[in-house]
């Protein structure tokens, strides 16, 4: 077994043992899936967005996940307060800029939130990472028009700006912080036919960041687990309804051996 697989497994054991409370301010489409994915991994999820209570909730949580998939004014107000509070308390912030680049509203909100409280990890597809880095990227709604490798320079620029980790997910996942790069080649194309798999990756990153303060490692581990659980699920049945169910089962049943067997991680 490689050192990396052991290190991933150590984090999973910590998540299962500690069941860290992960505070999600996320979109309506994926709330159920990401809560179930966090539970299947061993974490304790909660979805709390009201400005009246997000600061209280951040205070008792181990990580904050912010996802702009179905933005509106109430949610944006909650995100502002929660991110500021997480920053003040030193809790990890994971940010998912769903659909940034598609509308001015998403661009403005993302820019404002990033300036308010630099996320410890940002995860997006190539279009989103390029748009967030200020490049004039093209998007197709919430889907990327580029392979993940096209956004590596943008990710590095964004990491320099925030000081945090930037993850570009796609057929190949790039995890970038400063000069460091890890590359995950796990996963399966059918995962793009299930809504919110990217959002799930972001949520799981929150769980790993809650137990591993090396956020570069935490993000790498989360992307590896996503990809491996996805592969296991597709092998059960290559169809999108089944994949959604089998992915949760695979996360729950994940073993150290499966990780060691399947992990496709390199450092560049």
Q: Does residue 16 interact with a second copy by CB under 8 A?
A: no
Location of structure tokens 């190539």: 126
Query: Residue 228, by phi and psi: left (phi above 0), alpha (psi -120 to 50) or beta?
Result: alpha
196 labeled binding residue: yes
Segment interacting with a second copy (CB under 8 A) among 110-118, 137-145, 168-176, 178-186: 137-145
- Give, as ranges, the residues between 216 and 245 that touch a second copy (CB under 8 A): 237, 239-242, 244-245
How many chain residues bind a second copy (CB under 8 A)? Answer: 63
Which residue has 């929660």 as its token pair? 82
Q: How far apart are CA 239 and CA 245, in angstroms?
A: 11
Binding to a second copy (CB under 8 A): which residues in 31-70?
Answer: 31-33, 35-36, 39-40, 44-53, 56-57, 60-61, 69-70
From candidates 5, 8, 15, 30, binder to a second copy by CB under 8 A: 30
Q: How far is the CB of 161 from a second copy (least distance, A)?
A: 24
Site string for a second copy, 152-171 (x = CB under 8 A): --------------------
> 241: annotated binding-site residue?
no
What does the radius of gyration of the chain's CA atoms come to, in whole angstroms? Answer: 17
The answer to whether 99 and 141 are in contact (CB under 8 A) is yes
**Exactly one of 79, 102, 203, 223 binds a second copy (CB under 8 A); which one?**
102
Out of 7, 10, 21, 111, point to the residue binding a second copy (CB under 8 A).
Answer: 21
Q: Least Å distance between CB 259 and a second copy?
A: 18
Q: What is the nearest approach in angstroms of a second copy to the Cβ of residue 5?
A: 22
**Of these, 15, 142, 154, 183, which contacts a second copy (CB under 8 A)?**
142
Is residue 125 a contact partner of residue 169, using CB atoms and an 8 Å limit?
yes
Q: Rounded to whole angstroms, how far apart are CA atoms 187 and 264?
A: 10
By CB under 8 A, tell whether 23 contacts a second copy. yes
Nearer residue to a second copy within complex by CB, 103 or 213: 103
Binding positions for substrate are 47, 196
Residues that bind a second copy (CB under 8 A): 19, 21, 23, 27-33, 35-36, 39-40, 44-53, 56-57, 60-61, 69-74, 99, 102-106, 139-143, 192-196, 237, 239-242, 244-249, 252-253
Binding positions are 47, 123, 169, 196
């Amino acid at each position: 077994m490689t050192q990396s697989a052991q290190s991933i497994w150590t984090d999973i054991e910590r998540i299962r043992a500690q069941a860290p409370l992960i505070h999600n301010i996320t979109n309506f489409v994926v709330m159920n899936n990401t809560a179930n994915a966090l539970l299947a991994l061993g974490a304790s999820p909660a979805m709390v967005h009201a400005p009246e209570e997000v600061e209280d909730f951040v205070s008792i949580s181990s990580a904050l996940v912010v996802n702009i998939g179905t933005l509106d004014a109430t949610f944006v107000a909650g995100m502002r307060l929660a991110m500021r509070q997480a920053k003040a308390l030193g809790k990890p912030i994971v940010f998912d800029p769903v659909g940034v680049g598609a509308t001015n509203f998403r661009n403005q909100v993302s820019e404002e939130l990033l300036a308010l409280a630099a996320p410890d990890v940002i995860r997006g597809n190539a279009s989103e990472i390029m748009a967030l880095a200020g490049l004039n990227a093209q998007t197709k709604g919430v889907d990327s028009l580029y392979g993940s490798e096209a956004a590596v320079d943008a990710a590095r620029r964004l990491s320099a700006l925030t000081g945090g980790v930037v993850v570009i997910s796609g057929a190949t996942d790039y995890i970038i912080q400063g000069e460091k790069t890890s590359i995950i080649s796990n996963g399966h194309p059918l995962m793009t036919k299930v809504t919110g798999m990217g959002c799930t990756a972001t949520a799981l990153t929150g769980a790993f960041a809650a137990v591993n303060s090396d956020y570069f490692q935490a993000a790498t581990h989360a992307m590896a687990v996503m990809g491996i659980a996805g592969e296991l699920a597709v092998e059960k049945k290559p169809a999108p309804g089944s994949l959604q169910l089998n992915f949760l089962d695979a996360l729950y049943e994940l073993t150290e051996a499966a990780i060691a067997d399947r992990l496709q991680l390199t450092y560049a």
